[in-house]
Structure 1
Amino acid sequence: MEDILFTVGRRIRELRKRKRLSQSKLAEKAGLNDKYLGEVERGSNNISIRNLGQIAIALEVETAELLDDSHQREIDRKEIALKLQKIIESASDEDLCAIYGFASSIIG
């Protein structure tokens, strides 16, 4: 249950930030307490279906979009790839060989 709460909270935070809303502004639009919204975003408080729906309306998204974290996984993947590219570009020849060896051992 805790993982689901964290995933939903992270998704709400991501969408809120994308829409450039503060927690208090989103809470106001959704008719919720801003302290409660902060707890939801951190995954430390349960959220009812009703409140989830109110947040979705305030964010102008479908409720299902708050439950779907596949978009976040794609963002994380791109971000990690960019970070790896920077590491590889600045690596010495010796470090590059070590990175290759490590990557080969975990990928197979």
Structure 2
Amino acid sequence: MGQISTNGEIGARLRAFRKRRGLTQEQLAERIGVTFQQVQQYERGSSRLNAERLQQIASALDIPVGALFDDKDERALTEDEMRLVKGYRSLSSDEIRSFVLSSIASPVCSRKAGS
């Protein structure tokens, strides 16, 4: 069984994800229907988050709820990475997906231009 996260740990992860998404406390507050002062309290760990609010925050940040509890999920995708995943999933054929994967994995892609 995993260790229980404290309000402070959850708040720190919330702050990290918010910043990673490029959102201000005001913007996150607007998305979840609270004041920015309430977001400050969540991030400091001085105010508890109920299940409904956790779900709203996770949705607003486009992360799984579990990411707020588990350090392993600290590496949640950036906005650009999410766009890549969504684009890949929207590809219409396995052949195209295979081409994209081989292009990304190719050593040519990792070389600097003109090398």
Determine if the TM-score, normalized by the shorter chain, exceeds 0.5: yes
Aligned residue runs from structure 1 range 55-70, under 5 A: 55-70=57-72
Match of 2:49 in 1: 47
Instruction: Render the CA deviation track for 1:31-77: whole Å, top value 9, x for unaligned.
Output: 222111100100111111111110000000111111112456xxxxx
Q: Distance in 2 between matches of 1:32 and 1:69?
A: 26
Structure whose residues are more often helix by fraction: 1
CA RMSD of aligned residues (A): 1.4
1:1-108 alignment runs, 5 A limit? 4-70=6-72
Determine the C-alpha separation between the residues in 2 that align with 1:25 and 1:42.
17
Poorly superposed stretches of 4+, deviation over 2 Å: 69-72
Q: CA offset at residue 13 of structure 1?
A: 0.2
> Are the equivalent residues in 2 in contact too, given 1:7–1:69 (CA < 8 A)?
no
Which amino acid counterpart does residue 32 of structure 2 have in structure 1? A
Partners of 2:6 and 2:24 in 1: CA distance: 23
Moved more, 4-13 or 26-35: 26-35
Structure 1: where are the runs of 5+ without partners?
73-108
Equivalent in the alignment of 1:99: none
Amino acid at match of 1:30: I
**5+ unaligned residues in a row in structure 2: which ranges?**
75-115
Contact 2:10/2:68 (<8 A) preserved:
yes
